[in-house]
Structure 1
Amino acid sequence: MPNRKNIFFYDQQDNEMENTLRPLFDLALRNDFTIVNDAKDASIIVSIGGDGTFLQAVRKTGFRQDCLYTGITRSNESGLYCDFNLDNFDEMLHTMVHEEMEVRRFPVINVKVNNESSFDCLNEVSIRSTIIKTIVIDVLIDDMKFETFRGDGLIVATPTGSTGYNKSTQGAVIDPKIPCFQVSELASLNNNRYRTLGSSFVLNSDRKLTLDIVQSGNDYPIIGLDNEAFPIKNIQTVTVSLSNKVIKTVKLKNNSYWDRVKRTFL
């Protein structure tokens, strides 16, 4: 494992942001941290921005299991993944140097497309129609047929991802200490021919979810992995399961997940 005090900063590169971050770099160096230019050499990966930047930092650095992730928001941003902001960066460094660090672990889902390509997601995977036509999906739980969905698409969210796209579809907000994932519908069509549960449902960590795309003129749906869209042609099957990976983040004292949910939504 790299030196425990090697820090890699992940941010959207621009001159203005570099000037803003310069005091943070200086502060890190004064506290005997080493700033590295390659995420592979880091033991701490710090994203600068909101939740979207945090998700990108995790994805672009390969869902590292041997390091800590943490997020720093700018003054006009908030984030459910980010415990710190530019005004209390020194508090983060002090915690890492002088206190026993509290680490939280966020569940990750693994997504396989056509039983070939494999992806990890910290937030959610979504499957949506790309044309003005509903998409038909056979939903299987542990290889047993559960329902046939017809509508705009489906979202499969992690507990932390439950506050994002999933919540906007009236899905439940799930405690990230519960190892599970949630399935939510996008504008389902319910009639005598197609009948779905009509509500979100939560699957335990040992369940396997299979989504078989019915090829009925909607052969090129769009698949969203966290905050990225992937143009994968001819998607036939998407399999989702809870990964054995977790994303470890530094926890600020007296700032639980539910504290951040309250600040964000209430």
Structure 2
Amino acid sequence: MMENNTIYFFEPNNKNSKKIVSDLKLLFEDLGITAVERSEDARIVASVGGDGAFLQAVRKNDFRSDCMYIGIGIEERNYMYVDFNYHNLAEIKQVFKMNNFEVRNYPVIEVKINDNQPNYCLNEFTLRSSLVKTIMMDLYIDDFLFEHFNGDGIVISTPTGSTGYNKSLGGAVVDPLISAMQVTELGSVNNNHHRTLGTSFLLSKARPITLVIDRSVDYYPIMSMDNEALSVQNTETVKVKLSDKTINTIKLHNNTFWHKTQRNFL
């Protein structure tokens, strides 16, 4: 059993959350893991809810790499980030009592808009025009001008984010053991004046990407990271790269990313 542990519960806005969290606190206290009131004091951060709650827990704890995240579902359904379920407390108790779990590192994307402080995401970063028209931008890989983009927007995802929005756009599903980010186009325009690659592609950590917005039109791009919108005006450049940060997640044995992908999509 893990020693000298503390746990913080990130609660969903749910009418049953108080009872659920109370039951979970008692369970972990029986295992010698003390619940704390401040997330910065915790060695384990537990999200209580679905994948959205997990993403919020990671974001609101600043993508800490000095703790472990665990997802505990409250509904009888399959998830991508959440391995455990409130309706099977016996499994949680047995797994922690026997140390029968794995700790997996997931890569994180860093996004820097203009000269602002960097933001981070675990799933994907999305940029699109807020107007009923396409957005034009230059796409640089390193310092190399790769293409002039004209279309609805761009999605840049981590491997764990590749199964969500990115997959619906025709992007590839990427094994999280591969340290890469995937770039996928949204409704690109290809004609005699504009030409894009027309397919998603992967970039390694050594190859950051820069989006330079065409300032001849006031696009006011809409940007989002994971499940939250970014409010930034006068966007000129967006620099995206794989961060040195990773997050540590507690997962069940024999419940890999590919097990979850099969359950959710096949």
Q: TM-score range by the shorter chain?
A: over 0.9
Q: Which residue is equivalent to 1:170?
A: 170
Q: Which residue is equivalent to 2:206?
A: 206
Per mean C-alpha deviation after superposition, the further-off stretch among 127-136 and 19-28 is 19-28
Q: Which residue is equivalent to 1:54?
A: 54
Structure 1: any 5+ residue segments left out of the alignment? Answer: none
Shift of 1:100: 5.6
Q: Which residue is equivalent to 2:91?
A: 91
Q: Which residue is equivalent to 1:238?
A: 238
Superposed, 1:182-193 pairs within 5 Å as 182-193=182-193
Shift of 1:14: 3.9
Q: Which residue is equivalent to 2:114?
A: 114
Q: Is the 8 A contact 1:133 1:218 kept in 2?
A: no
Superposed, 1:151-162 pairs within 5 Å as 151-162=151-162
Shift of 1:256: 0.8
> d(CA) in 2 for partners of 1:197 and 1:14?
44
Cα distance change of structure 1 residues 122 and 144 upon mapping to structure 2, 3 Å threshold: same
Shift of 1:21: 3.2
Per mean C-alpha deviation after superposition, the further-off stretch among 116-125 and 21-30 is 21-30
Per mean C-alpha deviation after superposition, the further-off stretch among 91-100 and 115-124 is 91-100
> d(CA) in 2 for partners of 1:15 and 1:29?
23
How big is each residue's C-alpha offset from its partner over 1:73-110, in whole Å with a ceiling of 9 and x where there is no partner?
12244311111111234433433342264211100011
The one-letter code sitting in structure 1 at the alignment partner of 2:191 is N
Q: Which residue is equivalent to 1:194?
A: 194
Shift of 1:183: 0.2
Q: Is the 8 A contact 1:128 1:222 kept in 2?
A: yes
Q: Is the 8 A contact 1:131 1:218 kept in 2?
A: no
Q: Which residue is equivalent to 1:39?
A: 39
Q: Is the 8 A contact 1:115 1:238 kept in 2?
A: no
How big is each residue's C-alpha offset from its partner over 1:178-218, in whole Å with a ceiling of 9 and x where there is no partner?
00000000111111001000000101121110011111323
Cα distance change of structure 1 residues 89 and 113 upon mapping to structure 2, 3 Å threshold: farther
> d(CA) in 1 for partners of 2:168 and 2:237?
25
The one-letter code sitting in structure 2 at the alignment partner of 1:169 is L
Q: Is the 8 A contact 1:65 1:245 kept in 2?
A: yes
> d(CA) in 2 for partners of 1:61 and 1:23?
23
Q: Is the 8 A contact 1:72 1:85 kept in 2?
A: yes
Deviating beyond 4 angstroms after TM superposition, the runs of 4 or more aligned structure 1 residues are none
> d(CA) in 2 for partners of 1:37 and 1:86?
20
For normalisation by structure 2, the TM-score amounts to 0.95
Q: Which residue is equivalent to 1:64?
A: 64
For normalisation by structure 1, the TM-score amounts to 0.95
3-state DSSP class of the match of 1:193? coil
> d(CA) in 2 for partners of 1:202 and 1:103?
25
Q: Which residue is equivalent to 1:226?
A: 226
Q: Is the 8 A contact 1:135 1:151 kept in 2?
A: yes
> d(CA) in 2 for partners of 1:247 and 1:89?
25
* Percent identity between the two aligned chains: 47
Shift of 1:55: 0.5
Per mean C-alpha deviation after superposition, the further-off stretch among 41-50 and 69-78 is 69-78
Cα distance change of structure 1 residues 231 and 88 upon mapping to structure 2, 3 Å threshold: same
Count of equivalent residues: 264
Q: Is the 8 A contact 1:123 1:226 kept in 2?
A: yes
The one-letter code sitting in structure 2 at the alignment partner of 1:107 is P
